[in-house]
Structure 1
Amino acid sequence: MSPARRYWLMKSEPEECSIDDALAAPETTVPWTGVRNYQARNFMRDQMQVGDGVLFYHSSCAEPGIAGLARVASGTRPDPTQFDAASPYFDPKSPPAAPRWLLLDVQALRKTRVISLAELRAQPELADMTVLQRGNRLSITEVTPAQWHFIESRLLSGA
């Protein structure tokens, strides 16, 4: 018996990789590079599986919010940006023989209307959503099945 499907919210700055960029990528698959938080890395390493649902979230932009739907498309592997001294994600303390940082591939499925942070906050059904919690800055957070289905059926049904 296969494990239950899980759901995630993954933040990306649109200047780095937007939902449009992901949809235009070969096979609509992009490597999720630059994760430099241990908890987010551990989600990728220990819990995320191929086929899991992803809310593709634009952050650090004029209108932050959910901008599309995607899925986890691969298992993890070392993130090469940690070894590239020219990369903003370079980590001199991460040796190639024992890499500290991982990535996985995400496949964009479709662009949606932007569901803003304010709109998410206005939904009582989403009050416990991790991205809405004060002080949360993680780039990858879990989304409960109930939250996923609410967003998909109530907020995106007309998108």
Structure 2
Amino acid sequence: MTVEAMVEEISMRELGYYLALLEHQRDHGKQRLPADLTPDDLTILEQLRERLAELEQWNILNRIVDELPAYECRTENPILENHQDFFLYFFVLHKARTQSANKNCMRVFRHLNYCYRCFKAFSAVSRTFFNTKENLNSRDNRIPETTG
């Protein structure tokens, strides 16, 4: 399986996990990643990091959000399911770009209110993202035991 195919095959829940690792790494450096990551995990993180670098060059959140239907998705495949660019931008890059955040968030959340399938995808990513961030932060904030 190619690296690109491996990245495309990750579930929404796994995507939330990798996004949290990616953000944690950007904030704290590579040395702060969990030691139990597999070579596949590191490969997926590298691919997502490269895609993130591409996305940073373009301000495409408005275009991504404009693709969202005003209400429910009318297709069998909801737009947010497996839309890694949206989640990379929304969870990792969007927090740094607040100029159009209000308009974009309102449109996203209005769509999520009407489209249950996109809501399920969004909640799977966000739940895992925030749980992973909490676990990483609590691990980093542990006070080392002293001997003596």
**TM-score tier (shorter):** under 0.3
For normalisation by structure 2, the TM-score amounts to 0.26
Per residue, is there more strand in 1 or in 2? 1
Q: TM-score with structure 1 length normalisation?
A: 0.24
Q: Which has the larger radius of gyration?
A: 2
